[in-house]
Structure 1
Amino acid sequence: MDAKDTANSSAVFSFSPSRDTLGGTAYLIVEEVNILIDCPAWNDINQHFLQQQGGVQWLVLTHRGAIGKVKEIQQTFGCNILIQEQEAYLLPGLTVTSFHQHFELTSQSHAIWTSGHSPGSSCLHYSGFGGVLFTGRHLLPTPQGAVMPIKTAKTFHWRRQLQNLQKLVAEFTPETLRYLCPGANIGFLRGKPYVDQAYEHMSKINDEQPQQGCLPPKT
């Protein structure tokens, strides 16, 4: 997204897709604290950038496939790691905070359990910029430029994924959700790592009830 709100001294940055997470896209929110969403490629450039922004206080993992170099990131920045409780076992030896349904990181950011893609799949909502939802792989762009829940051979529970989409539609409004930042497939967004008018997009998906014919994610 690479956006700044000078009035509130906040910003959102996106990273290039990482091979460590099968083409996943990570994001950084700079607000009361710095929140890294999923693991970017762990190289000197990204490490230096994160240090320039003031380090990382929270690392939020939206699903088990986004773990990447989590150990190295925590060792470097001493950050808290947040992951939904069903996937916390995947991080032995690390200091981890797990949550069940919701977890409030700051007054502007909270995590939401959206099981389906994986048992502990989650999203993070940031209230800045009119509302930004970081969806991990819960919702992904398609070649047509839409965003959809995508069923693949590795999908944990397809019906639950659709039900959690409905939950998100019920939780937000056009006034509280303007942007959607997916955790993969951003090449389909033609150079933008976000989808504008996010609530309208999600409402349309909810009405159409996507089925198994959706394209698999490109990695």
Structure 2
Amino acid sequence: MPESAAPTVIAKPPQLVFEGLWAFAPNRDTLGGTAYFLKLPHGNWLIDAPAWHAETRAFLEEQGGLNGLFLTHRGAFGKAIAIQQHFNCDLVVQEQEAYLLPGARVTTFEREQAIAPQLTAIWTCGHTPGSACLYWEGQGGVLFTGRHLLPTREGGVAPLRTAKTFHWPRQLRNTQLICDRFSPETLNWICPGASSGLMRGRKAIASAYERLRQLDWSGLSEAQPLL
């Protein structure tokens, strides 16, 4: 190979989480965000934007294309518009983030809305004004949380306050609302949209409802922003 030639980069393929659900490798375009692909009888969905290259296109086309792309927050947009243009799919985002997708054909929601059979979008403002989670009724209940809830070093899940957090008290209130909305029977798994390295090879956080109930609310309320 000539010295000037760049080595071939082989993209890491999506990894199976459950039957019909795959997790993509962290995406540099979304600051290491994790996107998911969900294959359902009524249509295929992406949750957040994976790295957009030939391998991603081939994988999605082999699975039958794409019906929709749900975006959990503005930091997970990546190449969402290019993905929509390629597959002519729906692009769903909470209404306060939609202006950041100029020229795209966007479907918005306000608070909570069913966007497809077994899929419900839930507004969880805090990390950004339009942060949202997506709930899938399969596998005993799976919540795709974007950066609203992230894995912890202790193996749990929690909201994370950073210097760029839009509104920390609202994020805490919306975390409590998630706890109130679900139960051990309806929320078994959380699929976070970042910090996958803390999951130590796991692709989803089990016993999700119990882990949320174990949160140290007083400690979270006193947390200071990261600088």
Q: TM-score, normalised by structure 1?
A: 0.92
Q: Give the drift of 1:35.
A: 1.1
Structure 1 contact 142–215 (Cα < 8 Å) conserved: no
Structure 1 contact 134–182 (Cα < 8 Å) conserved: yes
Q: Answer yes or no: is 1:33 the counterpart of 2:43.
A: yes
Residue 8 of structure 1 aligns with which residue? none
1:138 to 130, 141, 148: 148
Separation in structure 2 between the aligned mates of residue 28 and residue 18 of structure 1, nearest angstrom: 14
Residue 125 of structure 1 aligns with which residue? 135
Q: TM-score, normalised by structure 2?
A: 0.89
Count of residue pairs the alignment pairs up: 212
Separation in structure 2 between the aligned mates of residue 183 and residue 169 of structure 1, nearest angstrom: 19
- Which aligned segments of 4 or more residues in structure 1 are displaced greater than 6 angstroms? none
- The unaligned stretches of length 5 or more in structure 1 are 6-10
RMSD (Å), alpha carbons: 1.8
Q: Answer yes or no: is 1:84 the counterpart of 2:98.
A: no
> How do 1:60-139 and structure 2 match up within 5 A?
60-139=70-149
Separation in structure 2 between the aligned mates of residue 82 and residue 123 of structure 1, nearest angstrom: 12
Q: Answer yes or no: is 1:2 the counterpart of 2:16.
A: yes
Deviates more, 1:155-164 or 1:203-212: 203-212
CA change 1:18–1:215 in 2 (3 A) is farther
1:199 to 196, 200, 209: 209
Q: Answer yes or no: is 1:12 the counterpart of 2:21.
A: yes
Structure 1 contact 140–148 (Cα < 8 Å) conserved: yes
The sequence identity of aligned pairs, in percent, is: 50
Residue 178 of structure 2 aligns with which residue? 168
Structure 1 contact 151–212 (Cα < 8 Å) conserved: no
CA change 1:168–1:206 in 2 (3 A) is farther
Aligned residue type for 2:30: T
> How do 1:47-62 and structure 2 match up within 5 A?
47-62=57-72
Structure 2 contact 17–23 (Cα < 8 Å) conserved: no
Aligned residue type for 1:150: L
Separation in structure 1 between the aligned mates of residue 60 and residue 222 of structure 2, nearest angstrom: 39
Aligned residue type for 2:26: P
Kindly name which structure, 1 or 2, has the bigger radius of gyration based on alpha carbons.
Answer: 2
Aligned residue type for 2:124: T
Q: Give the drift of 1:28.
A: 0.9
Structure 1 contact 162–209 (Cα < 8 Å) conserved: no
**What is the SS of the residue equivalent to 1:205?**
coil
Q: Give the drift of 1:208.
A: 5.2
Structure 2 contact 73–132 (Cα < 8 Å) conserved: yes
- The unaligned stretches of length 5 or more in structure 2 are 1-14
Residue 152 of structure 1 aligns with which residue? 162
Separation in structure 2 between the aligned mates of residue 69 and residue 212 of structure 1, nearest angstrom: 36
Structure 2 contact 17–204 (Cα < 8 Å) conserved: no
Structure 2 contact 94–123 (Cα < 8 Å) conserved: yes
Aligned residue type for 1:108: Q
**What is the SS of the residue equivalent to 1:105?**
strand
